[in-house]
């Protein structure tokens, strides 16, 4: 299971052409750390789980078969 920090993500984005603006980069960094526009939370994506923090903020990991939303629904039933 691979962990991905902000610097890894920035390197990937820059390899794909970069952020469209510095303002967008700042907004994405807020979302990366679980703050910012609540309509687009990274932590709500299937398989994405927090894996800790480093000097740049949150570190995330992807677990293909993991979906916290299923666990939430199961607990409601």
* Domain residue ranges of the chain, discontinuous segments joined by +: 3-76
The average pLDDT across 13-39 equals: 91
Output the pLDDT for position 74: 73
* DSSP β-bridge partners for residue 73: none
Per-residue pLDDT band for 34 (boundaries 50, 70, 90) equals: confident
- Give me the phi and psi of 16, to 5 degrees please: -100, 10
Which pLDDT tens digit goes with each residue over 55-75?
989 998 888 777 766 766 677
The average pLDDT across 42-46 equals: 74
Output the pLDDT for position 65: 76
Q: What is the pTM of this model?
A: 0.73
User: For residues 53 and 34, is the Cβ–Cβ distance under 8 A?
Assistant: no
């Amino acid at each position: 299971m691979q962990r991905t920090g902000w610097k890894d993500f920035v390197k990937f984005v820059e390899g794909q052409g970069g952020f469209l603006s510095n303002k967008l980069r700042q907004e994405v960094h807020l979302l990366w750390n679980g703050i910012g526009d609540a309509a687009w939370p990274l932590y709500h994506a299937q398989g994405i789980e927090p894996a800790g923090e480093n000097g740049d903020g949150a570190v995330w990991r992807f677990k293909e078969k993991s979906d916290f939303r299923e666990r939430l629904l199961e607990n409601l039933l």
